[in-house]
Chains A and B, each alone.
Chain A
Amino acid sequence: MSLNVTRLGAIARKEVIQLRRDTRSLVLAFLLPLLLLVLFGYAISWDVKDIRLAVLDQDRSADSRALIDAFRASGYFKVQGSLDRSQAIEPLLLRGSSQMVLVVPPDFSARLRTGKTAVLQALVDGSDANTATIVLAYANSIVRSFGLVTQLDARRVRPAITAESRVWYNEQLLSRNMIVPGLIAVIMMIVAAMLTSLTIAREWERGTMEQLASTPVSRSEVVVGKLLPYVAIGLIDVILCAALGVWLFDVPLRGSVLLLLVLSTAYVIGSLGLGIFISAVTRSQLLATQVSMLVTFLPAFLMSGFMYAIDVMPKALQALTYLVPARYFLVVTRGIFLKGVGIEVLRVQGLLMIVFAVVGLALAIRVFRKELHG
């Protein structure tokens, strides 16, 4: 693959001029990534907070009030008010105005004081299973520690063992800290696949590809020349997203920015190559965009571990995720952002990024070689 600098420059410069005059591409290149980041940063949160809790307190004792205070004090629940009859429970859950209703039976305090097991009823809206599970877990832990404290208080002893857990790398367990670095991997795929599908397929549709083919420019020069401006855009997007993540969302950036940029470059070259490959095969802007969505964007979004944990996927799907480059890039971005790890830890992922870049580029050039000779 020998590249002539004059021809390469001509292709790259032409591409930049076209990009500058194409609003659709500019929006895709710069506005869409920021929009996605802000949208996801604010809208998506797996944190469950301020759970709406209604209470039917049939006991009305000091103990039941202490229990409700424990819920309030946990910070996870917002106690909306107390009900006076059990018929009022269902409408609340049906309308969704409460997520959980806690029923304290009349004998709660009495049983607690006589050393018997007191029973509480928690009614949870299970229509959102994920949230319901988290709500129940919170409720259980509050009740357990309330029970323990009451019991120990009664006997005037201290607990033998207490577990003090600490979370590393994402201390407050903020889902935003996971989303922002992951989103960078997804955004790069969008930029790469969508933009290239526009630029290459356009040349086929408008007949300019034939004109290119009649000149001494080689396929590698066309592919690499077209790639250059988009690699630059990809890197600008990484920097923009990282900066926005750090300043707007307080996501920690603990590792080396340089390493992030180097591995991002490899990742974006691979993605661009894939995009070029797709648009060279489909030769239509519309079809290329749709196919790109299907084979690059969606897997990056759904099967990389960005939205859904890979461990809980069906085995067959899990096997497929090994083919999704974003899966590895996600490890890179989360590692560099949150853990601050370097290449010594990301060796395998780094190598895979380079493999991805080479394969993507080779695929793109290969398709061109075939096509120009019709």
Chain B
Amino acid sequence: MNGQSAAVVAHELTRSFGEFVAVDRVSFEVANGEIFGFLGPNGAGKTTTIKMLAGLLLPSSGHGSVVGFDIYRETEEIKRHIGYMSQLFSLYGDLTVDENIEFFSGLYSLTGSRRRERRDWVLEVAGLQEQATHLTSELPLGFKQRLALGCAVLHEPPVLFLDEPTSGVDPLSRRRFWDLIDTLTRSGTTVFVSTHYMEEAENCDRLALMNRGKLIALDTPAELRAGMRDPLLELRTSDAPRAVEALREVPGVLETALFGRSIHVAVSDEAGVQDTMVARLAERGIELYAIDNVVPSLEDAFVAQVRAAGGAPVE
């Protein structure tokens, strides 16, 4: 393993809980300063992988290192060099904003002027100056999340692990949160973030797609979209759920997925598939308003990747 070029290295990383293999021989490298996205449905093994890298969980097998430190033997060193924020809001609600910052400064052994500097910095970038003396439990969720991120980077760690940091937050707060992440990456921080919001995934330099514990694709968002070879159709119908059912059995249809109120259908490139689809919908009495060729979104790419990997996402 080299700690020089890669901030995070995972090699054949595996973790099982009894019979259940939560993470199955996952390998990747994250470059310094990169925003590395971890995408996948719940239960895909994202959290387990992050916990192993953050030194919170020992792997069953495989290797890994963070900032050059081994994830088996040097977990204490790793903890000094990373920031970690979990999906669950995990600051102290009965402490004020200031007291939470003070507490984590203490845990990261910040003292004197550095401690004051970092406190002011966190309050500023998180937009919490006005709320410094408020109890944390009284803050809106978006504020709490920014404070949690602030507390995780008090010691200016080179690598930051964020496990679904914006789950349950409104889109506006999510945008502010990502602005904050941008600020951090500009100063060279490597960010390792898991999410199940596709729009957030677009912000990442590279994306790793996880499904059922396996890494099924790893590329830039643009490449992942371009990698979809099969044509993609968008249909608008009078009854989307029934249309999905009806189209699923049409020969040549590879994948159907609800996409808002419309349907995305991946089809093989053989001729006549479209005609059969139109006929089938008419047969079932479902009205077809429009049918278009569309540019695949990340979500389409993800659905296609899962299909290619031979399994449906675990709901």
A254 proximity list for chain B (CB < 8 A): none
Q: Take A208-B90, A208-B91, A374-B56 as given contacts and tell me if A214 and B109 are in contact as well, using a CB distance cutoff of 8 Å.
A: no
* Cα(A317)–Cα(B91), bound, Å: 46
Q: Beyond A216-B107, A374-B51, is A210–B86 a contact (Cβ under 8 Å)?
A: yes
Q: Does A362 make an interface contact (CB < 8 A)?
A: no
Residues of chain A contacted by B54 (CB below 8 angstroms) = 214
Residues facing A in B67-82 (CB within 8 A) are: 75-76, 79-80, 82
Q: How far is the CB of A368 from chain B (nearest CB, A)?
A: 14
Number of interface residues of B (CB under 8 A): 32
Complex Cα spacing A284 to B33, Å: 40
Write the A232-249 contact mask toward B (1 if CB under 8 angstroms, else 0): 000000000000000000
Q: Which of A18, A217, A374 sits near B92, CB closer than 8 Å?
A: A18
Cβ contacts under 8 Å, A11 to chain B: 106-107
A111 → B minimal CB distance (Å)? 80
Q: Do A214 and B79 have beta carbons less than 8 Å apart?
A: yes
Q: Is the CB of B90 within 8 A of A6?
A: no
Asked if A10 and B91 make an inter-chain contact with CB atoms under 8 angstroms apart, the answer reads: no
Once the chains are docked, how many angstroms separate the CA of A233 from the CA of B54?
Answer: 36
Check: A166 CB closer than 8 A to any chain B CB.
no
Contact A14 B109 (CB under 8 A): no
Query: Interface of chain A, helix or strand or loop or mixed?
Result: helix
A17 touches B95 (CB 8 A): yes
By a CB distance below 8 angstroms, the chain B residues around A21 are 94
Residues of B contacting A374 in the complex (Cβ-Cβ under 8 angstroms): 51, 56-58
Residues of A within 8 A of B109 (CB): 4, 6-7, 216
Answer yes or no: B178 CB below 8 A from chain A CBs: no
The residue of chain B having its C-beta at the shortest distance from the C-beta of A20 within the complex is B94
Q: How far is the CA of A14 from the CA of B99 in the complex (A)?
A: 8
Interface presence of A9 (CB below 8 A) = yes
Q: Is A213 part of the contact surface with B, judged by Cβ < 8 Å?
A: yes
Do A13 and B84 have beta carbons less than 8 Å apart? no
A interface residues, tally (CB under 8 Å): 27
Which listed residue (B76, B84, B106) contacts A6, Cβ 8 A?
B106
Give the residue name and chain of the B residue nearest to A18 (CB): B94
Indicate whether A373 sits within 8 Å of B107 (C-beta atoms), given known contacts A208-B91, A208-B92. no
CB distance from A335 to the nearest CB of B (A): 41
A354 within 8 A of B: no
Which residues of A are found within 8 Å of B82, using beta-carbon distances? 214
Task: Write the nearest CB–CB distance from A46 to chain B, whole angstroms.
Answer: 44
Q: Does A211 contact B (CB under 8 A)?
A: yes
Q: How far is the CA of A207 from the CA of B103 in the complex (A)?
A: 16
B197 to chain A, nearest CB (A): 21
Is the beta-carbon distance between A13 and B57 smaller than 8 angstroms? no
Task: Give Cα A100 to B86, complex, Å.
Answer: 72
**A217 CA to B106 CA in the complex, in Å?**
9
B294 touches A (CB below 8 Å): no
Given contact pairs A7-B106, A374-B58, a sample of 12 additional A-B residue pairs in the complex whose CB atoms are under 8 Å apart: A6-B111, A7-B107, A9-B106, A10-B103, A13-B106, A18-B92, A214-B55, A214-B152, A215-B107, A216-B108, A372-B56, A373-B57
> Which residues of A are at the interface with B, using a C-beta cutoff of 8 A?
4, 6-7, 9-11, 13-14, 17-18, 21-22, 206-208, 210-218, 372-374
A–B pairs, 14, beta carbons within 8 Å: A6-B106, A11-B106, A11-B107, A13-B102, A13-B103, A18-B92, A22-B94, A206-B90, A207-B88, A207-B90, A208-B91, A210-B88, A211-B84, A211-B91
